[in-house]
Amino acid sequence: MGKAKLEKALQAKINSKENIFVPYIMAGDGGLEILEEQIDFLQKSGASAIEIGIPFSDPVADGPIIQEAGIRALKNGTTLANVLEVLKDSNERRSIPIVVMTYLNPVFVYGIERFAKDCVEAGVDGVIIPDLPMEEESIIAPSLSNHEVAYIRLAAMTSPQERIRELAKRSEGFLYAVAVNGTTGERTAHDKKVTSYLENLKKQSNVPVLAGFGVSSTQQAKNLGAHCDGVIVGSKIVQLLHEDRLKEIRSLIEGSILSEITN
């Protein structure tokens, strides 16, 4: 389970010549009572894994759409504790890997060792903490490792080569390649430098490399997926879920996982 489950599931997609597709959703946007239903829908639609965001009052990586979803979720009383409780209750009824994206402060307040232990009980396979730099990750990474939960690192296009090498060496689950210089949100196009950046990461990483930030269409997913192992799509999924446009989500996932260029 945990890290091994996540890595095995993603490798199976690569072996079958599919692009990996990881949708991001904001827990509690629309109410926590629909979280299990959302997970089930995305699993049946062909998602490789699901990234679940924990709403936070002071996000640094989130663009307007995800910030607004976080505000709605906070107004619904969503917390890290009750998200993990919902995931724990539904753990036996799902098979898709789950990755939690949160910030350091909620984890610190919750208790780092307690968080790692409760992630296991909730069936959380990986954790992303975007405001925790590599130099400070010893705060939490050992606890997650002891419980076999993947600590997923993020790489930026502005990162020096030495740092990228170290991030790639430490990576677990998958390496999150931030494909824009900025926050999350839809983009009409990505910087031309992103191609060589993704290919460089892929050469150095022992785990799948997934491109995130600014991916909002099937064509963008295919274009980026041709140079790494797949994509993470957040703002577009969050918006479509909020507007109950489920057919469009299914089409986006189905169209994105069929790679035109096999890796």
Average pLDDT of the segment spanning 135-142: 96
Global pTM value = 0.93
What is the token pair recorded at 99?
Answer: 């990755």
In a domain, 223, yes or no: yes
Residues 89, 101: Cα–Cα separation, whole Å? 19
Residues 138, 146: Cα–Cα separation, whole Å? 12
In a domain, 204, yes or no: yes
Residues 256, 215: Cα–Cα separation, whole Å? 11
CATH of the domain at 131: 3.20.20.70
User: What confidence score (pLDDT) does residue 180 get?
Assistant: 72
User: What confidence score (pLDDT) does residue 192 get?
Assistant: 64
Q: How many domains does the chain have?
A: 1
Average pLDDT of the segment spanning 125-130: 97
- Give percent above pLDDT 90 in the chain: 82
Residue that has been written with the tokens 């192992």 in this structure: 229
Give per-residue pLDDT as tens, 219-256.
989 989 999 999 999 999 999 999 999 999 999 999 99
**Is the pLDDT score of 184 beyond 70?**
no
**Is the pLDDT score of 10 beyond 50?**
yes
User: What confidence score (pLDDT) does residue 259 get?
Assistant: 61
Give per-residue pLDDT as tens, 11-69.
999 999 999 999 999 999 999 999 999 999 999 999 999 999 999 998 887 888 999 99
| Position 260 confidence tier, pLDDT thresholds 50, 70, 90 | low
User: What confidence score (pLDDT) does residue 181 get?
Assistant: 57
Neighbours of 166 (CB within 10 A): 16
| Position 205 confidence tier, pLDDT thresholds 50, 70, 90 | very high
In a domain, 261, yes or no: no
Domain that holds residue 102: 3-254
| Position 182 confidence tier, pLDDT thresholds 50, 70, 90 | very low
In a domain, 259, yes or no: no
**Is the pLDDT score of 213 beyond 90?**
no
By CB atoms closer than 10 A (0-12, 13-18, 19+), residue 16 is exposed
In a domain, 263, yes or no: no
In a domain, 260, yes or no: no
Average pLDDT of the segment spanning 170-192: 69
In a domain, 143, yes or no: yes
**Catalytic machinery residues:** 51, 62
In a domain, 92, yes or no: yes
Answer yes or no: are the C-beta atoms of 176 and 210 closer than 8 Å: yes
- Give the sheet arrangement for strand 50-53, strand by strand: 150-151, 126-128, 98-101, 50-53, 20-26, 230-233, 209-212, 175-178, 154-156
CA atoms within 13 A on the CB side of 252: 26
